Structure 1
Amino acid sequence: MEITFLGTSSGVPTRSRNVSSVALRLPQRGEIWLFDCGEGTQHQFLRSDFKASQIRRIFITHMHGDHIFGLMGLLASCGLAGNPQQKVDIYGPPKLNDYLQACRRYSQTHFSFPIKVHTVQPGLVYEDDEFKVSCALLEHRVPAHGYRVDEKDRPGRFDVKRARALGIPPGPIYGKLKNGEVVTLPDGRRINGKDLCGPTLTGRSLAYCTDTVFCDRAVELAQGVDVLIHEATFAHQDAEMAYQRLHSTSTMAAQTALLAQAKQLIMTHFSPRYAPGNAIQLADLLAEAQAIFPNTVMARDFDTHTINRPEQTALMAS
């Protein structure tokens, strides 16, 4: 699982930071899942190694422009690119479908591929054999949802040599054994697939929380995740402004990560007011967060973070 930040500014873009969008790349499936789609996201795709034709799911947190103004343009361009585009599922607040339908109607845009919009409610949003996505209502000026992606545990590596040594004929039976099932062979022997597999591959997890002021629901959503992506619009000194606008400070993001016992915090959605040369700069926000939650990093546009399985991390450390 790879996270790439396509936009890390809040409200408006800057010379170095576009507005909100995060791409989750799933190499094993050749898919990209997008979280938010601020204005200019399709341009960020052009500057990256991604292909828009790989987008399968788009999760929108809320209806503010810096999170959705790029959605219609991206979808329209996908249909004109000439590359085969499969169905795209879009998840978001109740008014999201109305917004897209109005854009299509007034711009007379026709999508050449199927699109399905799903209205989300707190709880389970999507599930398949490998992943589960859930959401929670955060605390913002409009309804805003945070999302959590959980990869399911998988059986360990199947020992083909041992299976052959036991006289197990290859074929569909190997698939069942690899899934940890108990199989009865033609000669009456019962083989437990778990005995032929290595240690279980632990699933990875991430949470994406923006826009929100500090709230318990964000802590609950992010419990024990490998990576928490959390907005940090303001510095701690500007906490009053954060409460008024229902955004988070760097210290609120760190407190959320600490209380959730997340393994890593990646801050994003920074106010342009902390540009170089100002009294408070983004390095100060990072220092504030790290004082509370040391394993904090600050996202920049096009930063990519790989979420490794625990066993992969242990192997790399050894």
Structure 2
Amino acid sequence: MELLFLGTSSGTPTRQRNMSAVALRMRGARPWVLVDCAEGTQHRLLRAPLSLVHLQAVFITHLHGDHCYGLPGLLASAGMLNRTEPLVLVGPAPLRPMLECIMESTQLRLPYPVSYLLPEELPDAAVLPEFRVSAAPLSHRLPSYAYGFTEARVERKLDLERLKADGVPASPLWGELQQGRDVALADGRRLAAEDYLLPGRRPRTVVIAGDNDTPELLAAQAHGADVLVHEATYTQEILDKVGPGPQHSSALKVARFAAQAAVGNLVLTHFSPRYQEGDGPLSVSAIEAEARTAYDGPLFLARDLDQYVLDRQGGLERGIS
């Protein structure tokens, strides 16, 4: 699985950071999904190995502008690329009337069908073939959600010992069994694929949260997740000065929760523009240092165009796309 960050700032962009957007796909696959779509996301996509033609779904965590103002333009650009495949949009209820109003006002006509889903309709609604998707409500000034993406299928190895014991000769039928398809042998026997497949590994889960001042609301969804992506807008010292009004989290609050929830890898993002690169109390390094006091697992602070690869054993590595 791959994560590609297209924006990691909160509220407004900086010279180094655009606002919130992150892409997810199976490693090396063409289809991908987008979580949040701030203004400027399209510019980041110009430097990413992703095509709007292969975008399967967009998940909006909440309707603050730094998470969704780029969506109308992205939909229009997909149409100008002659996209014809359907696109699924998942987000809070006002997302649909907001987009329909913009489309009507600007006479935007899309050459592909768009369908809308509410977060509450997950996981019952089958949105993606590669993932089972769940949603969890969070605590913010507007309705905000976290989306969990769990592999729908995992590869399974053939039970070679049983095949040999049952006298099933090696042939292309073995490949059919490994793909989960039942087969018929020349001698008339029918073999159920499930009988000849070893148990698969644990499906991997990535949780990407919207703005949220109460990480504990993710206790059920994120417990044991391989990756949690969560905002760390402030350090605790600045959060105490700002007060509860903005309803954001500090790095300390998120890190404490991640440790309690046995999260495999923690990726922090959505940093206040006041935090710059370098050292000092108003640096991204200060956010990292604070998080490390409470979480001793693999910790990452996302940067724009960072690409992360989650391997089959749950290890997360960062590279540059």
TM-score for both structures, normalised by structure 2: 0.87
1:106-134 CA-to-partner distances (Å, cap 9, x unmatched) read: 11111111111112217526435542100
Partner of 1:25: 25
Counterpart in the other structure of 1:107: 106
Preserved contact between residue 219 and residue 257 of structure 1 (Cα < 8 Å): no
Cα 1:129/1:272, change in 2 over 3 Å? closer
Q: 2:313 pairs with 296, 304, 310, which one? A: 310
Q: What secondary structure, in the 3-state scheme, does the structure 2 residue paired with 1:4 have?
A: strand
**TM-superposition CA deviations, 1:26-55 (whole Å, max 9, x none):** 246521100000001111101222111111
In the aligned structure 1, how far is the partner of 2:44 from the partner of 2:314? 33
Q: 2:300 aligns with which of 285, 291, 297?
A: 297
Structure 1: stretches of 5+ with no match in the other structure? 314-318
* Deviations, residues 294-314 of structure 1 (Å, cap 9, x unaligned): 22110000001111111889x
- Conservation of the 8 A alpha-carbon contact between 1:54 and 1:85: no
- What is the match of residue 252 of structure 2? 251
Asked if 1:118 is matched to 2:107, the reply is no
Cα gap change, 1:60/1:288 in structure 2, threshold over 3 Å: closer, same or farther?
A: same
Cα deviation code 1:237-294 (max 9, x no counterpart): 0233252211000011112211221100000000001124774211011011011112
One-letter identity of the residue aligned with 1:249: S
Measured at CA, do residues 122 and 273 of structure 1 come closer, stay the same or move farther in structure 2, by a change above 3 Å? farther
Shift in Å, 1:174: 5.0
Match of 1:138 in 2: 138
Q: Deviations over 1:181-233 (max 9, x none)?
A: 77675646564535644551432110011200024222222111110000000
C-alpha distance 125-244 of structure 1, shift in aligned 2 (>3 A): farther
Give 1:81 shift: 2.2
2:319 aligned partner: none
Distance 1:242 1:44, change over 3 A: farther
Name the amino acid aligned to 1:259.
Answer: Q
- The one-letter code sitting in structure 2 at the alignment partner of 1:42 is Q
Partner Cα distance (1:180, 1:113) in 2:
33
Q: How does 1:1-318 map to 2 (within 5 A)?
A: 1-27=1-27, 29-82=29-82, 84-121=83-120, 123-124=122-123, 126-127=125-126, 130-158=130-158, 166-167=168-169, 170=172, 175=176, 177-178=177-178, 185=185, 187=187, 189=189, 191=191, 193=193, 196-197=196-197, 200-240=200-240, 241=242, 243-276=244-277, 279-294=281-296, 295-310=298-313
1:16–1:71 Cα change, 3 Å: same
Aligned equivalents of 1:285 and 1:297: distance in 2?
11
* SS of match in other structure, 2:123: strand
Question: Normalising to structure 1: TM-score of the pair?
Answer: 0.88
Give structure 2 stretches of 5+ with no counterpart: 317-321
Give the Cα separation in 2 of the matches to 1:98 and 1:143: 16
Note closer, same or farther for the CA distance 1:129–1:53 as it changes in structure 2 (3 Å cut): closer
Q: Is the 8 A contact 2:60 2:67 kept in 1?
A: yes
8 Å contact from structure 2 (residues 72, 102) kept in 1: yes
Q: Which residue of 2 aligns with 1:316?
A: none
Superposition CA RMSD, Å:
2.8
Work out the percentage of aligned pairs sharing the same amino acid: 35
